[in-house]
Amino acid sequence: MTDARLIPQSTIFILYGGTGDLAHRLVLPAFYRLAIAGLLPEDWRLVANGRGDVSHENFQEDVRKTLEEFGPKPSEGPWEEVRSRLRFAGGGFESANPGTLLDLVNEARQELGGQPQLIHYMAVPPSAFGPLTEAIDTHGLAEGSRVVYEKPFGTSMETFVELDRIVHETFEESQVYRIDHFLGKEATQNIHVLRFANGLFVESWDNSHIGCVQIDVPETLDVAMRAAFYESTGAILDMLVTHLFQLAGEVAMEPPHCLDPECLAEARENVIGCFRPLTHSDVVVGQYEGYTDVEGIPDDSRTETYVAARMWVDNDRWAGVPFLLRTGKCLAESHQRVSVLFKHAVPLLPGQPQGGNVLGFELSGDGEIALTLVVKEPGVEMTLGETAISLPLGKGFHTPSLPAYSRLLHDVLIGDRSLFTRPDGLEHVWKVADGILQHRPVPIPYAKGSWGPPAATELAAPNVWHLGE
């Protein structure tokens, strides 16, 4: 039986960009998973908004097709019940013209009765965040509501400051949820649990014991249907200043006063304030061969599809420890991996391998913790070798895990902001990246199926990339 405290009040969920790629790949499937898990309100309506003129029935059928493609399948849950609560409001939504959205919201309020909470979800490009926020204010839909902004929250320091101003003219900070779905992953949350709850690691999490931290999110996929979005962002905005910086904050945070949500969020934002601004010597960017052949991409595009960065955390705990961050499209393998490389034991045993101990967190799927150890190889001779052991997460427990988007959507529904980014941390993120964003490096071509430009190997020296080497 689901804990009643986890069931939110009746809700009208407005999905801006409701016919877009993000809504159909991630948001709507995540919403359906909550329906299957019994974690949606007892009564709710989802009103998708877009510029087109789509009937409720056609939108419902589009959602059914989406679930058939991306899952969970409609047959796996209460599809007919969910279908009956889906609506579409066409005509866009602007300060000067609300389209049909206000009519649909008023109709939903009458159907639900009482005082349903209103949630705005911005599944739209960052350039639309400001105008939509102003329209919400103009049409009186802000008071008492919650708003979810997808990443990136701005595209530079200047646009971040302007968007933050617009948002806080309409909403109180307590109403705002800036989503970074990597923070919603079960394995990400296990980083701080494993570190702070296990004496094996709590005293060794510093520059005396750790030689390097690597955060690696290579992808084998190309930009595919996201070409227009990707051309306007690139790997730096799409991944580095969002997911990878937040993961670095998870690894590097100081011990919080407690493991309550606000304590963890404050610890993460505080250490992000210690990140040293990147310079061009700290960054290698690349573009996979054939990127400009994709429909909609200019022949002379200088958008990077790969970025590797060497970052430093300027505090006593991490002085001298490089944080190596890497992500890209069309690479050799797909991973979402955090690797903590420990220093060699001193003195080394004769014949000891040079790899040392590596603690790895695989964040994809249900997640996995892996530990590389030096051991004696079987046999009559004293030969030392390396072996890896892994602990799959999400197995061995009676409680199933929720995918990141479903977890974060549920947190919005019940009002838990602990896994969402805050403006103080985001402001410093933009300071860290501002130098390379103002004068973006020229991308180096790299072959599909490779590990990116060879210059990234030099960037990591004297270390090596744990993945792909």
Cβ within 8 Å of residue 321, ≥6 positions away: 207, 210, 211, 212, 213, 312, 313
pLDDT of 1 over the 50 cut: no
Chain-centroid distance of CA 70 in Å reads 18
Average pLDDT, the chain: 91
DSSP-based three-state secondary structure for 161: helix
Per-residue model confidence (pLDDT) at position 209: 94
Per-residue model confidence (pLDDT) at position 17: 96
**Whole-angstrom distance, CA of residue 234 vs CA of residue 93:** 27
- Mean pLDDT over residues 425-449, rounded? 93
Cβ within 8 Å of residue 230, ≥6 positions away: 223, 238, 303, 305
Of 21-25, 190-194, 394-398, 423-427, which gets the smallest average pLDDT? Answer: 394-398
Query: What are the helix and strand counts (H, E) for the chain?
Result: 15, 15
**Whole-angstrom distance, CA of residue 49 vs CA of residue 101:** 7
Between vectors from CA 4 to CA 2 and to CA 5, what angle results, nearest 5°?
Answer: 115
Token pair of 8 as six digits = 């939110």
Confidence of residue 292 (pLDDT cuts 50, 70, 90): very high
**Whole-angstrom distance, CA of residue 263 vs CA of residue 277:** 25
Residue burial 73-94, b: 16+ Cβ < 10 Å; e: rest: ebeebebeebbebbbbbbbbbe
| Alpha-carbon torsion (431, 437, 440, 446), positive or negative | positive
Catalytic-role residue among 243, 335, 410, 428: 243
Of 75-89, 307-321, 340-354, 412-426, which gets the smallest average pLDDT? Answer: 340-354
Cβ within 8 Å of residue 58, ≥6 positions away: 88
Choice between 79 and 352, residue whose per-residue pLDDT is larger: 79
Q: pTM of the prediction?
A: 0.88
- Mean pLDDT over residues 162-172, rounded? 97
Tens of pLDDT, residues 189-224: 888 888 888 888 888 999 999 999 999 999 999 987
Of 22-36, 55-69, 150-164, 442-456, which gets the smallest average pLDDT? Answer: 150-164
pLDDT of 179 over the 80 cut: yes
pLDDT of 451 over the 50 cut: yes
Residue with tokens 């405290």: 5
Question: Which secondary-structure segment (H or E) carries 14?
Answer: strand 11-16
Yes or no: say if 436 and 280 are a contact pair by the CB < 8 Å rule.
yes
Per-residue model confidence (pLDDT) at position 7: 67
Token pair of 253 as six digits = 């945070």
Count of other CB atoms within 10 angstroms of residue 274: 18
Tens of pLDDT, residues 128-151: 999 999 999 999 999 999 999 998
Count how many Cα atoms sit within 13 Å of the Cα of residue 262 in the half-sphere of its side chain.
2
For 129-279, strand residue ranges (E) read 146-149, 176-178, 210-218
Per-residue model confidence (pLDDT) at position 6: 60
- Mean pLDDT over residues 354-370, rounded? 86
Q: For the chain, what percent of residues have pLDDT higher than 90? A: 68
Per-residue model confidence (pLDDT) at position 8: 76
**Whole-angstrom distance, CA of residue 3 vs CA of residue 13:** 22
Task: Please confirm, yes or no, whether 243 is among the known catalytic residues.
Answer: yes
| Alpha-carbon torsion (193, 197, 198, 202), positive or negative | positive
pLDDT of 348 over the 70 cut: yes
Per-residue model confidence (pLDDT) at position 88: 98
Confidence of residue 232 (pLDDT cuts 50, 70, 90): confident
Per-residue model confidence (pLDDT) at position 396: 59
